[in-house]
Chains A and B, each alone.
Chain A
Amino acid sequence: MNFKEIMNIISVIAIPFVIFSFLFYGFFKKVKVYESFVEGAKEGFNVAVRIIPYLVAMLVAIGIFRASGAMDVFVAILSPITNLIGFPAEALPMALMRPLSGSGSLGIMTEIMKTHGPDSFLGLLVSTMYGSTETTFYVLAVYFGSVNIRKTRHAVLAGVISDITGLLTAFFICKLVFG
């Protein structure tokens, strides 16, 4: 049994296990489990509705950016710089899209692997990049939105630094392992 199989089993049983142990422990501690659950779950709707304005603001801005083709302009500007470290220009749209849009970067990853093959260096690189960082701007909008925070201080900067580090590390490690 390899690492992947073990991880798959854990991810499958994790949620049922957590739910079961919470319920059982609560029951053991004489908590009125059903009433308690309903009490907590009531808030679900409010949280979801609360993030709508933040999500609309963020996704519309990202939508405009994506539809305008501005990405191509950025790729053209940045590629001479990334060429210096040998970063392939084909993977640059992936690096730019990853923090902005989950569906967008998934599309780019799939496209690149279709064109160059999933086991080519580019294919391995973009799929590593996809997993190495999250959709920063979406996460920021949803998480801050859920508690109505509008002044985000250094969150964006720290998030972007982490994205750049993740993407560059993905490149260097891929070069080391697959290059």
Chain B
Amino acid sequence: MNYIWLALIAIGILTAIGTDIYEISINKYKNGVEFQAFLEIEDDFKFGTQLRGNIIVSGDYFKEFYSLKNFKVDSIKNEITLNVNQDGKGVLIVKIGETTPEFWKLMAKGKGVNTDKLIANVFNLEKLGDGKYKVTLVFEKISFVKMKQILNAIIEYSDIAVKIAIGLIGVMALWLGIMKIGESAGLINLLARLVKPLTKRLFPDIPPEHPAIGAIIMNISANMLGLGNAATPLGLKAMEELQKLNPKKDTASDSMITFLVINTSGMTLIPATAIAVRAALGSGDPAAIISTTIVGGFAATIAGITSAKILQRLKIFRKELEENENQKEVQG
């Protein structure tokens, strides 16, 4: 886990730095380069006040200016505000909206702040008549786009993490409460006894009638039925029970890993999310993928359990468990 975690972060940051430096070297965002366009001003023209209007750019000019490969728009029309002084110098603000070309959206996003607009300095304004003007401008400097996106991602994802955890509190409490009743009534034990032939093989180090088995079975059933809301609390309940049996509290036991692999392979009988998206996008047969998904999930589960069972015997993965046993002997 240490390596994977480090790798994700390191690869991410290095790629971002590399991309940013490359983009600076080719001046991808044409920082400091003069851009020419036409304006249509709706308000009565007056120097020193904010005027509303549109910027008009031909698709070919835009494509060539930013050296874009795939750009198929004939003409760009985008909402702006303009404020110029008598000497023809001033500020033009491009409002990012639905008609804004993707590349400008990307530039605005890359600023990190005020991402709803692009600001440009106006150097020359030439009147063509009838509210139409020809303008020469230079957009604000844009660099380190990827680094800014990473910065945003860091903040956004730490927030999401807490929101997910907080969102779990309710269902977690509900299912832990229900499970407690089941335990006190002996229902969980009964459940465990029913599936004993199967679980004996999958989880040899759990006593057959331990409450962990009951929770595991309920978690797997919930997953099969696509009941994600119930599956996670039941799975965490199972982990809690497995942890009670675990001799080394900071290290995963064989049973825990087998159980987790069953969960990460996500065997389900009804892929509800995928079906819903397909239906929403107008599929002729949204449920066509049920059989293929069951086969895929089944294969993933079998491969996961098999590899967990084989890997747990390997020396490198036993080491952490045995270190513990040696320590015990020394302490004893």
In the complex, what residues of A have CB within 8 A of residue B301's CB?
162
CA distance A43 to B176 in the complex (A): 7
* B residues with CB within 8 A of A: 1, 4-5, 8-9, 11-13, 15-16, 19, 146, 149-150, 152-154, 156-158, 160-162, 164-166, 168-170, 172-174, 176-187, 218, 221-222, 225-227, 230, 232-233, 235-236, 239-240, 242-243, 249-252, 256-257, 260-261, 263-266, 268-275, 277-278, 281-293, 295-297, 299-304, 307-308, 311-312, 314, 317, 320-321
Q: In the complex, which residue of chain A has the Cβ closest to the Cβ of B287?
A: A4
Within 8 A of B (CB), among A137-179: 137, 139-140, 142-144, 146-159, 161-167, 169-170, 173-174, 177-178
Q: Which residues of B contact A78 (CB under 8 A)?
A: none
Check if B281 sits within 8 Å of A110, measured CB to CB: yes
Across chains A and B, the number of contacting residue pairs, with CB separation under 8 Å, is 378
Answer whether A154 and B317 are a contact pair too, CB < 8 Å, given A57-B5, A59-B160, A61-B8.
Answer: yes
The reply on A113 being an interface residue by CB < 8 A is yes
A152, A173, A174 — which one has the most chain B CB atoms within 10 A of its CB? A152
Quick one: which of B149, B161, B321 contacts A55, CB cutoff 8 A? B161
A-B contact pairs, 25 of them (CB 8 A): A8-B270, A14-B225, A29-B184, A29-B186, A29-B187, A41-B173, A47-B172, A48-B166, A55-B161, A64-B12, A67-B16, A68-B16, A69-B15, A106-B273, A106-B277, A118-B282, A118-B286, A146-B236, A147-B243, A153-B251, A153-B252, A153-B321, A162-B304, A165-B304, A177-B291
User: Cα distance A24–B249 when bound, in Å?
Assistant: 36
Q: Is the CB of A127 within 8 A of B166?
A: no
By the criterion CB–CB under 8 Å, are A11 and B226 in contact?
Answer: yes
Q: Which of A58, A59, A119, A151 contacts B284 (CB 8 A)?
A: A119
A11 with B227: in contact, given A118-B282, A130-B273, A173-B296 (CB under 8 Å)? yes
Chain B residue nearest in CB terms to A71 = B15
Q: Which of A25, A52, A57, A110 contacts B277 (CB 8 A)?
A: A110
For residue B172, which residues in chain A have a CB less than 8 angstroms away from its CB? 43-45, 47-48
Contacting A154 at CB < 8 Å: which of B146, B268, B308? B308
Could you tell me the distance between the alpha carbons of A31 and B295 in the complex, rounded to whole angstroms?
A: 42
Q: In the bound complex, do residue A19 and residue B178 qualify as a contact, i.e. CB atoms below 8 Å apart?
A: yes
Q: Main secondary structure on chain B at its contact with chain A?
A: helix
Whether the pair A68, B13 counts as a contact (CB closer than 8 A) is yes
B157, B166, B235, B274: the one contacting A60 at CB < 8 Å is B157
- Asked if A130 meets B1 with Cβ closer than 8 Å, knowing A48-B169, A139-B263, the reply is no
Give chain A residues whose Cβ lies under 8 Å from the Cβ of B174.
41, 44
20 more contacts with CB within 8 A, not counting A55-B162, A154-B308, are A7-B269, A18-B218, A22-B178, A22-B181, A26-B184, A36-B177, A37-B177, A45-B173, A48-B168, A51-B165, A68-B146, A133-B300, A134-B265, A150-B251, A152-B257, A153-B312, A154-B317, A166-B265, A167-B300, A177-B292
Tell me the dominant secondary structure on chain A's binding face.
helix
**Closest chain A residue, CB of each to CB of B285:** A119
**Docked-complex contact A65 and B8, CB < 8 angstroms:** yes
Contacts of B275 in A (CB 8 A): 4, 127
B13 near A159 with CB under 8 A, answer no
Assess whether A161 is in contact with B303, with CB atoms less than 8 Å apart. yes
Residues of the A chain whose Cβ atoms lie less than 8 Å from the Cβ of B153: 60, 63-64, 66-67
**Does A85 make an interface contact (CB < 8 A)?**
no
Distance from A37 Cβ to chain B, minimum over Cβ atoms (Å): 4
How far does the alpha carbon of A63 sit from the alpha carbon of B149 in the complex, in Å?
A: 10
CB-based contact B277/A113 at 8 Å: yes
Task: Give complex CA distance A22, B232 in Å.
Answer: 18
Inter-subunit contact B180/A36 (CB<8 Å): yes
A178, B161: Cα distance in complex, Å: 38
Of the candidates A22, A29, A63, A124, the one having the most CB atoms from chain B within 10 angstroms of its own CB is A63
* Assembled-state Cα–Cα distance A63/B154 (Å): 6
CB distance from A170 to the nearest CB of B (A): 4
Distance from B232 Cβ to chain A, minimum over Cβ atoms (Å): 7
Q: Across the interface, name the chain A residue whose C-beta is closest to B250.
A: A150
Once the chains are docked, how many angstroms separate the CA of A48 from the CA of B169? 6
Q: Tell me, in angstroms, the Cα distance from A149 to B1 when the chains sit together.
A: 11
Contact A40 B177, beta carbon cutoff 8 Å? yes
A164: chain B residues within 8 A (beta carbon): 303
Q: Could you tell me the distance between the alpha carbons of A128 and B170 in the complex, rounded to whole angstroms?
A: 31
Q: Check A136 for interface membership: any CB of B closer than 8 A.
A: yes
